[in-house]
């Protein structure tokens, strides 16, 4: 078990109880329904002990001795048992409905909270956390955190049963009460031992569930690479390592739980047996009557309910605490990108300005250093540079997916950090290098249910993105489902759909991060030419590689190692900057070779 030690806090029970207290504060009404139903069930269970004792002692035994059954007494006894049973049913319904509603409402509440926190956190935070782990936080961890809620109202209600039963035992016979009460210290000792051994195993298992989800998600997401590179065996082995670790941790935790549950179930039965033995001796001595012994034995047998209910809650606490810790870790994560309240007045293209910008990822070296240039409103500027020069980072800064360490990024003269989230979303559209297509129709992917983006806007955007012809050829045109990640579309088609998505919102700044790399060069030129002729109200910042694409730009910014090495018209840079000319020529030669390979 030491192999799974996760620095377990021995106060897991107290932390678990605080988690339950937080749950009550979050859902007081549903908890009240479940607890009141459980209290009613508990009271009626204790009452049934006296009813059954009275029926046995005052009706059944005299009837056996007299050889006849009084009809009135039998009817009265039956009515009493029926009435208690009906009230117990009402209590069970209230308990289960309240507990179920409480559990599912809490899970929904915290899943929404975790998801909202994901949306608030910046891209830099997401880049440090695997997608599978994030999915596990929002699903498995939330579910585990509120697993004890199902038996919790029952356990709270059965405290009433416990107190009532002990008082009733004391009233019936104090000796039998002492025999019964002696069981409860054993219950808590067993639970302390169980919690100390189980909690680190549960925490390790909860962490490993996230790792399994992360590896699985990565393998499924990269299925194309796995298949084409023949990595099936390696990926299977990689998944087997973490899944085997999860299996071992879960089995170890299950082994401890497997010892705990039978002990918790056996204790009330041992107590009942002790009560019967002691009670029989006292009955023979004349210190007890038959109805008292029957009632006492039944009372102690019903104590199995509260003991089991409390055991269920306590048994689930270690895993709940582990899940809640991981959920709270997400909710408390720092790095939220706060937005301002400023809006951008007017309509039409906006000016984009980088003013002495410096940026680096995490604790690594700077990717951009003292970058300054302006993209005038309504103009097209191409970013050109070798791999790693900082082109994609500039596009992320322009869309405010990240903030600079130093310097300022401005839109229409306003610091982007002062703008509201709505102002940014309505002003800027980023079309990334790797297109993402939802499992929806073409129209759904382009419109995204955005206000003001109707069918005509989506159709116009598809035409401008040179996607209207292939969309028209689909079985249901723009209403055709495209599958997960656009599985039914080619790479170029996916890029054109995502480009149309960016255009449909009529952005004032359009950022293209090599967004047409999978498109035929002639189609790419048609798209960019269309943007120049019909997109006069749009400023365009484009990461470009092809010479024909670069030539369409009004100006080129040439980046070398995160710095602006040169800027100006394409022809001028070709003639005056050897490094730029060499790079563009290399890109063109590589493109020609690729075209020849495709043609061959």
Q: For the packed helices 232-284 and 304-331, what is the interaxial angle rounded to 10 degrees?
A: 150
Tokens 């005509």, residue located: 456
User: Over the stretch 217-276, which tens digit does the pLDDT of each residue have?
Assistant: 667 666 666 666 666 777 788 778 888 888 888 888 778 777 777 777 677 677 777 777
**Largest Cα–Cα separation, the chain:** 123
Q: How far apart are CA 307 and CA 303, in angstroms?
A: 6
pLDDT at res. 169: 73
User: Over the stretch 155-207, which tens digit does the pLDDT of each residue have?
Assistant: 777 777 777 777 777 777 777 777 766 766 676 677 667 666 776 777 777 67
Grade residue 594 by pLDDT with cuts at 50, 70 and 90. Answer: very low
User: Over the stretch 536-582, which tens digit does the pLDDT of each residue have?
Assistant: 578 889 888 877 778 888 899 999 988 999 999 988 998 898 988 88
Residue 590 has pLDDT above 60, yes or no: no
Which residues face 385 on adjacent strands? 559
Q: Are 374 and 412 in contact (CB under 8 A)?
A: no
Q: How far apart are CA 225 and CA 117, in angstroms?
A: 31
Measuring CA to CA, which residue among 2, 26, 5 is closest to residue 324? 26
Measuring CA to CA, which residue among 306, 291, 301, 297 is closest to residue 51? 291
Which residues face 354 on adjacent strands? 373, 409
Q: How far apart are CA 441 and CA 483, in angstroms?
A: 8
Could you say which DSSP state residue 60 is in?
Answer: I
Q: State whether residue 238 is helix, strand or coil.
A: helix
CA geometry: angle 187, 189, 193, nearest 5 deg: 120
Q: Which residue has the higher pLDDT, 106 or 47?
A: 106
Could you say which DSSP state residue 235 is in?
Answer: H
pLDDT at res. 301: 66
The set of residues, in sequence order, having a beta carbon less than 8 Å from that of 390 and lying 6+ positions away, is 359, 367, 368, 371, 559, 561, 562
Q: State whether residue 414 is helix, strand or coil.
A: strand
User: Over the stretch 310-330, which tens digit does the pLDDT of each residue have?
Assistant: 767 777 777 788 888 888 888
> Kind and range of the H or E element at 204?
helix 183-221
Helices assigned H by DSSP within 336-413:
391-398
Could you say which DSSP state residue 486 is in?
Answer: G
Q: State whether residue 381 is helix, strand or coil.
A: strand
pLDDT at res. 67: 63
Grade residue 74 by pLDDT with cuts at 50, 70 and 90. Answer: low
Other CB atoms within a 10 A radius of the CB of residue 284 amount to 9
Residue 130 has pLDDT above 80, yes or no: no
Across the chain, mean pLDDT equals 79
How do the residues of the chain divide into helix, strand and coil, expressed in percent and rounded to 5? 65, 10, 20
Tokens representing 288? 């007890």
Q: How far apart are CA 431 and CA 18, in angstroms?
A: 46
The β-bridge relationship of strands 380-385 and 555-560 is: parallel
> Kind and range of the H or E element at 425?
helix 421-427
Tokens representing 572? 């001028």
pLDDT at res. 410: 92
8-44 as b/e: b if 16+ CB within 10 A: beeebbebbbebbeebbeebeebbebbbbbbbbbbbb
Q: Which residue has the higher pLDDT, 25 or 150?
A: 25
How buried is residue 600: exposed, middle or buried, by Cβ count under 10 Å (0-12/13-18/19+)? exposed
Q: What is the mean pLDDT of residues 460-477?
A: 86
Tokens 């730009």, residue located: 553
Q: How far apart are CA 598 and CA 29, in angstroms?
A: 67
């Amino acid at each position: 078990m030491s192999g799974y030690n996760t620095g377990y806090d021995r106060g897991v029970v107290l932390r678990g109880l605080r988690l339950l207290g937080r749950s009550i504060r979050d859902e007081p009404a549903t908890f009240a329904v479940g607890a009141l139903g459980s209290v009613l069930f508990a009271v009626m269970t204790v009452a049934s002990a006296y009813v059954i004792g009275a029926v046995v002692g005052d009706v059944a035994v005299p009837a056996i001795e007299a050889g006849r059954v009084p009809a009135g007494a039998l009817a009265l006894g039956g009515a009493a048992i029926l009435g208690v049973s009906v009230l117990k049913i009402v209590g069970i319904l209230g308990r289960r409905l309240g507990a179920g509603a409480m559990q599912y409402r809490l899970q929904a509440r915290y899943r929404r909270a975790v998801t909202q926190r994901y949306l608030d956190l910046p891209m830099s935070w997401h880049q440090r956390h695997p997608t599978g782990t994030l999915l596990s936080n929002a699903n498995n961890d939330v579910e585990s955190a509120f697993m004890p809620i199902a038996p919790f109202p029952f356990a709270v209600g059965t405290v009433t049963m416990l107190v009532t039963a002990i008082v009733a035992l004391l009233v019936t016979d104090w000796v039998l009460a002492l025999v019964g009460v002696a069981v409860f210290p054993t219950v808590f000792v067993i639970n302390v031992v169980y919690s100390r051994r189980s909690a680190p195993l549960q925490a390790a298992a909860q962490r490993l569930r996230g790792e399994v989800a992360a590896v699985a998600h990565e393998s499924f997401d990269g299925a194309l690479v796995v298949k084409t590179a023949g990595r099936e065996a390696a990926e299977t082995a990689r998944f087997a390592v973490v899944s085997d670790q999860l299996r071992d941790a879960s089995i170890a935790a299950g082994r401890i739980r497997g010892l705990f549950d039978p002990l918790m179930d056996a204790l009330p039965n041992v107590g009942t047996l002790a009560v019967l033995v002691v009670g029989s001796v006292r009955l023979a001595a004349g210190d007890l009557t038959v109805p008292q012994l029957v009632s006492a034995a039944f009372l102690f047998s019903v104590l199995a309910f509260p003991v089991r209910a409390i055991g269920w809650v306590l048994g689930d606490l270690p895993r709940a605490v582990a899940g809640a810790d991981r959920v709270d870790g997400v909710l408390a994560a720092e790095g939220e990108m706060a937005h301002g309240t400023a809006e951008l007045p007017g309509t039409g293209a906006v000016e984009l300005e980088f003013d002495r910008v410096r940026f680096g990822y995490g604790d690594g070296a700077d990717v951009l250093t003292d970058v300054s240039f302006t993209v005038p409103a309504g103009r097209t500027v191409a970013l050109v540079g070798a791999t790693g020069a900082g082109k994609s980072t500039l596009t992320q800064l322009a869309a405010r997916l990240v903030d600079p360490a130093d310097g300022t990024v401005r839109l229409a003269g306003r610091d982007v950090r002062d703008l509201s989230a709505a102002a940014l979303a309505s002003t800027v559209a980023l079309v990334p290098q790797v297109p993402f297509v939802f499992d929806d129709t073409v129209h759904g992917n382009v419109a995204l249910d955005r206000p003001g983006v109707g069918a005509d806007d989506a159709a116009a955007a598809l035409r401008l993105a040179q996607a209207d012809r292939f969309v028209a050829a689909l079985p249901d045109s723009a209403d055709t489902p495209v599958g997960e990640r656009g599985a039914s579309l080619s790479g170029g088609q996916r890029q054109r759909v995502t480009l149309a998505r960016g255009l449909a919102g009529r952005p004032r700044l359009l950022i293209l991060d090599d967004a047409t790399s999978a498109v035929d060069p002639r189609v790419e030129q048609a798209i960019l030419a269309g943007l120049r002729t019909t997109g006069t109200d749009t400023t365009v910042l484009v990461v470009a590689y092809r010479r024909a694409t670069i030539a369409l730009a009004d100006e080129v910014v040439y980046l070398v190692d995160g710095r602006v090495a040169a800027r100006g018209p394409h022809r001028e840079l070709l003639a005056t900057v050897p490094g730029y000319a060499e790079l563009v020529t290399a890109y063109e030669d590589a493109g020609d070779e690729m075209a020849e390979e495709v043609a061959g």
